[in-house]
């Protein structure tokens, strides 16, 4: 299934809210925003409650969430301390957003109403272990939103593989060996983590057109599923 969507947060809102310093920061922010469909993913998250953005990088999506609804309390977490410092400088003044340094391979996660893992799972040593911990961090009824790079169409997959090689090889992105998976494989992994997969779609959007995107929404059941006798 292919979803074509655009959310309500537009580039001027994100740009005007930032406190970037200098041309390099401004270019980096612009490049990330126009390189990925943040605006299309933002409406998949609830408008209220605590949201963890795991592997938030420079905090562009965390800021998109915080600007999208004041009822959200957004916590952005990343292992890369200089990136978190940048995120803090750019968006740390937003009242419903904070950033922390943390390692997704080891650290405990606080309880949350929603968790988002945006372009991060393919960078981890053990993505399945993180999915399981994210599922446990969710309150009953809470949602997990995952954005991954899809593996189709092949030409976009080739572009995204190259982009990731450059980002990891140049030291811009901290990463274990990059491992992409098919949409079906991620949906199975989210199910194995104990969540009900409500959406598993290829996403087409104007931003990030040259990279293939897939999005997933998993929900933690309100009552535990009864065991099959
Ligand atoms: C491609 S970037 C995505 C950043 C952000 N989610 C975005 O979409 O702009 C991947 C991020 O995962 C982070 N990361 C990789 N391994 C991590 C780990 N073990 N713990 C926390 N963050 C990690 C990297 O530091 C990097 O910021």
Taking CA atoms only, the protein residue closest to ligand 1 atom 12 is 55
Q: Structure tokens of 77?
A: 């977490």
Give the residues surrounding ligand 1 with Cβ less than 6 Å away: 32, 36, 55-57, 60-61, 78-80, 83, 103-105, 118-120, 123-124, 173-175
* pLDDT at residue 208 in the model: 87
Q: Which of 30, 37, 55 for a ligand 1 pocket mutation test, highest count of atoms within 8 Å of Cβ?
A: 55
- Residue position matching structure tokens 């079906």: 184
Tell me the CATH number for domain 2-219: 3.40.50.150
What is the pLDDT, as a whole number, of residue 10?
87
Question: Rounded to an integer, what distance in angstroms lies between the CA atom of residue 115 and that of residue 107?
Answer: 15
Q: How many CB atoms lie within 10 A of CB 141?
A: 12
Q: Which residue(s) pair with 148 in the sheet?
A: 214
Give the ligand 1 atom nearest the CA of 83: 27
Ligand 1 nearest-atom number relative to CA 36: 8
**Tell me, what's the pLDDT at 198?**
98
Of the candidates 82, 124, 123, 118, the one whose C-alpha atom is nearest the C-alpha of residue 99 is: 82
pLDDT truncated to tens, each residue of the chain (229 aa)? 555 556 678 898 999 999 877 898 899 999 999 999 999 999 999 999 999 999 999 999 999 999 999 999 999 999 999 999 999 999 999 999 999 999 999 888 999 999 999 999 999 999 999 999 999 999 999 999 999 999 999 999 999 999 999 999 998 898 999 999 999 999 999 999 999 999 999 998 888 889 999 999 999 999 765 655 6
- pLDDT, residue 6, reads 60
Instruction: Give the residue whose CA is nearest to atom 6 of ligand 1.
Output: 56
Nearest CA to ligand 1 atom 14: 55
**54 near 115, Cβ under 8 Å?**
yes
The dihedral built from the CA positions of residue 170, 41, 89 and 11, taken in this order, carries a sign that is positive
Question: What pLDDT, on a 0 to 100 scale, did the predictor assign at position 160?
Answer: 92
CA of 78 to the centre of ligand 1 (A): 6
pTM above 0.85, yes or no: yes
Cα 131 to ligand 1 centroid, rounded to whole Å: 15
Domain segments of the chain as ranges = 2-219
Distance 118 CA to ligand 1 centre (A): 8
């Amino acid at each position: 299934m292919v979803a074509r969507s655009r959310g309500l947060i537009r580039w001027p809102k994100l740009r005007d809210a930032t406190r970037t310093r200098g041309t390099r920061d401004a270019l980096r922010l612009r490049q990330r925003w126009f390189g990925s469909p943040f605006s299309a993913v933002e409406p998949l998250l609830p408008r209220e409650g605590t949201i963890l953005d795991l592997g938030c990088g420079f905090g562009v999506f965390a800021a998109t969430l915080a600007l999208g609804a004041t009822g959200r309390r957004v916590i952005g977490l990343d292992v890369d301390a200089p990136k978190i410092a940048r995120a803090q400088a750019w968006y740390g003044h937003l009242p419903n957003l904070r950033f922390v340094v943390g390692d997704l391979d080891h650290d405990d996660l606080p309880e949350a109403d929603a968790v988002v893992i945006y372009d991060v799972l393919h960078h981890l040593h053990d993505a399945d272990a993180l999915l399981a911990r994210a599922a446990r961090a969710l309150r009953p009824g809470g949602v997990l939103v995952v954005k991954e790079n899809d593996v189709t169409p092949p030409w976009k997959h080739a572009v995204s593989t190259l982009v990731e090689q450059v980002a990891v090889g140049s030291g811009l992105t901290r990463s274990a060996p990059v491992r992409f998976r098919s949409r079906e494989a991620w949906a199975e992994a989210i199910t194995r983590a104990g969540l009900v997969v409500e959406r598993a779609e290829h996403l087409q959007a104007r931003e990030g057109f040259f990279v293939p995107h897939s999005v997933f929404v998993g929900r933690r059941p309100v009552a535990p599923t009864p065991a099959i006798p």
